[in-house]
Amino acid sequence: MPTEHAFPDSAARNAQGEFETEKMSISMGPSHPSTHGVLRIQLELDGEVVTKADPVIGYLHRGDEKIAENMTYNQFVPYTDRLDYLAPLANNMAYAIAVEKLAKLEVPPRCQAIRVITAEMARISAHLLGLGAFGIDVGAWTVFLYSFTEREKLYKLFEELTGARFTTSYTRIGGVARDVPDGWTYKVSEFCDQFIPLLEEILDLLTRNRIFVDRTSGVGVISREDAIAYGLTGPNLRASGVPLDLRKDKPYSGYEQYEFDVPVGTKGDGYDRYLVRGEEMRQSVRIIRQAIAKFPPGKWYAEDARRIFAPPKDKVLTSMEELIQNFMIVTEGPQMPAGEVYFEAENPKGALGFYIVSKGGGVPWRLKIRAPSFCNLSILPKVCVGVMVSDVVSILGSLDFVMGECDR
């Protein structure tokens, strides 16, 4: 006897009496441990499979480009720390070189070597964090503890050099803030010596780890064509098989004198991205060792940077000429020629670019920051479709982004 009762699932049946699946929309983030900051992804789910992913960014938008238009070139240096705040020294260098191109300044070899050493240390520190966080995302807690111990040693060295652990603001336009302290390079060498065996130990925790390989291998595959079309750079691009490294292909700051290899992936999945980052740390140590071995003597700032730098304090207090110059630089900013420059540096996350439009004077007319994390995240709507929610976590960890840089 047929019953008159409506079954609870009757609403899910269509006219033909078949079940219709309903898609669910969930917000992942902005406060989610795996989104590494304040990224929100609006996911559309069919069961546990993602059918659509729409990243919502801008939670950390501070208007850095607007701020840059309202301050002198020197004053913007601390703001570059806060882009990719895991590698402030590399950001400082990229910005300084962009402005130096505008000002047509050549910095001496010692300054270049200091910048290379600090940028590579920043790369190691950023990759260690990326690795640790990636490990946590896919369930390997131990890596995080090891890698943060090593980062702490790097921060001690940064603090000794710059006075700050995190936001260093070390680079000046036309040089660096101060020369390296006595014995600092020796300490860096010591760090490198003890770091290499530890790095192998850290990587051993993941490379042959069955759970880690299962969670990352074949997950988030980005083809070579897609990687280029979406403007991916850095380890994410190289993991997809494109051997593009600006340190090698468009050398700056004396990178052409150092020997190092550019690791390249074959499959473009999360595991390849992990392997590339691991190898990059070994290569960074190689570069640091070479830079220290031929650490050149001389000045750490360009001689003709005087029209940009404030003069030494003792001179300002005793000499009329320097006092006037100091006043002019502080109030009006360093006088730059009119023109346009675009410079990209190979940062830990990818190519960080600065496009500067100058109309002359001490303030940029327009300063556009090309953030690698912004471009790297733009592939999410493509790469997240058809994967499980737990794989989204793995993909985010493998892309290794920083929202401070993405949102600017």
Partner 1 sequence: MPAALDAVAALKGGWAGVTDRASLDHAAVNVPASDLPGILGLLKRDHGFDMLVDISGVDWGMNAKPRFTVVYHVFSTLGHEYVRVAADCADDLVPEVPSVTPLWAGADWHEREAYDMFGIRFTGHPDLRRILMWDGYPHFPLRKDFPLAGIDTVLPDAEVVAETKTGAIAAPMMGGPFVASSGEINMSEAEPRAKDESWTEKRPKP
Binding site for partner 1 (CB under 8 A): 57-58, 61, 63, 65-67, 69-72, 75, 101-102, 104, 226, 228-233, 242, 244, 249-250, 331-333, 337, 339-344, 351, 353, 355, 357-359, 361-366, 368, 370, 374-375, 377-379, 382, 407-408
Shortest distance, CB of residue 193 to partner 1, whole angstroms? 34
- Closest alpha carbon to 99 in 108, 89, 91: 91
Backbone angles phi, psi at 22, to 5 degrees: -110, 135
Cis peptide before 243 (omega within 30 of 0): no
Pull the structure tokens for residue 220.
Answer: 């988030």
Range list of H helices, 217-255: 224-229, 235-239, 246-249
Shortest distance, CB of residue 261 to partner 1, whole angstroms? 17
Angstrom distance (rounded) from CA 229 to CA 240 = 12
Shortest distance, CB of residue 151 to partner 1, whole angstroms? 30
Shortest distance, CB of residue 334 to partner 1, whole angstroms? 12
Provide the 10 A C-beta neighbour count for residue 116: 24
Pull the structure tokens for residue 223.
Answer: 């083809």
β-bridge mates for residue 356, sequence order: 341, 367
Backbone angles phi, psi at 361, to 5 degrees: 85, -170
Residue with smaller CB distance to partner 1, 71 or 323? 71
Residue-level length of the chain: 408
Shortest distance, CB of residue 231 to partner 1, whole angstroms? 4
Residue with smaller CB distance to partner 1, 13 or 61? 61
Shortest distance, CB of residue 251 to partner 1, whole angstroms? 10
Residue with smaller CB distance to partner 1, 131 or 380? 380
Residue with smaller CB distance to partner 1, 219 or 237? 237
Residue 339's H or E segment, with its range, is strand 336-347
- Per the CB < 8 A criterion, the answer to whether 272 and 221 are in contact is no
Angstrom distance (rounded) from CA 200 to CA 205 = 9
Half-sphere exposure for 97 (CA within 13 Å, toward CB)? 24
Residue with smaller CB distance to partner 1, 136 or 402? 402
Angstrom distance (rounded) from CA 361 to CA 365 = 9
Residue with smaller CB distance to partner 1, 295 or 355? 355
Residue with smaller CB distance to partner 1, 74 or 216? 74
Shortest distance, CB of residue 156 to partner 1, whole angstroms? 29
Residue with smaller CB distance to partner 1, 135 or 364? 364
Shortest distance, CB of residue 184 to partner 1, whole angstroms? 30
